Chain A
Amino acid sequence: MLTSDLQDKLEAVQFRKIFFSLLAVLIGAAVCITTILNHSFPQVTDKVLDSSMRTIGLRLLSYNEGGFVLPFEVISILLLAAIVGSIIIAKKADSK
């Protein structure tokens, strides 16, 4: 089924799969969390982050230094291409 009914049982997962996935996940999480806790990150406290909507909008569309207008346009073209591609993939094949 594309989505499951309320009456459907949750899919059964093999024990081996659960075991090895849990092993990998727990080892990875333990390594990452110990690394995070053993490092001290120097926090910058003298400057204040100006993340107001006005600043974000101006920076997003500015083409001066530190502006993000080129990635903005590239993302817009990417979104358009993805929409067109997904419509073509998902439309019915025999609708000629």
Chain B
Amino acid sequence: MESGVGIQHFMILSTLMFFIGVYGFLTRKNLITILLSVELILNSVNINFVAFNKFLYPENLGGHFFAMFVIAVAATEVSVAIAIIISLYRKLKMIDVENVNEMKY
């Protein structure tokens, strides 16, 4: 076992990452920065998955695989979101969220 690093440290780290992501998501206006904040949130969840797997259920690898699938889903989500952002940029020449209400209705 690692000396002194317990599951609670990992959970506090992932909590801080999650709420930094939420703060960025709420305050930023640029769509790409919002996307990066969402990535921060997803990766904090991944930290939790792997830490729980290591400390609570070390006999199987479910958390590792779940983290891997979350990474893959995040990659697909980012690719689609970047595509939408690029096409919005071609149309509007800017990507602030206040001006993007084309997809609302």
A-to-B contact residues, CB < 8 Å: 1-4, 11, 13, 17-18, 20-22, 24-26, 28-29, 32-33, 36-37, 41-45, 47-51, 55-56, 59-60, 66, 68, 71, 75, 78-79, 81-83, 85-87, 89-90, 92-93
Known: A24-B26, A79-B75, A83-B79. A68 touches B65 (CB 8 A): yes
User: Are A47 and B59 in contact, with the CB atoms below 8 A?
Assistant: yes
Jot down 19 A-B pairs with beta carbons below 8 A, ordered by A: A2-B85, A13-B28, A17-B26, A18-B27, A21-B26, A22-B23, A24-B26, A25-B26, A41-B6, A44-B55, A44-B58, A45-B1, A56-B61, A59-B61, A78-B72, A82-B75, A86-B79, A89-B87, A92-B90
Give CA–CA (A27, B94) in the complex, Å: 33
A-B residue pair count with CB separations less than 8 angstroms: 122
How big is chain B's contact interface, by range?
Answer: 35 or more
Give CA–CA (A59, B61) in the complex, Å: 8
User: Are A51 and B64 in contact, with the CB atoms below 8 A?
Assistant: yes
- The answer, among B8, B79, B84, B95, for a CB contact under 8 Å with A41, is B8
Beyond the given pairs A36-B11, A48-B58, A90-B82, 15 more chain A to chain B contacts, judged by CB atoms under 8 angstroms and listed by A's residue number, are A3-B32, A11-B28, A17-B27, A25-B22, A25-B26, A32-B18, A43-B55, A44-B55, A50-B61, A56-B64, A59-B65, A75-B73, A79-B72, A82-B79, A89-B87
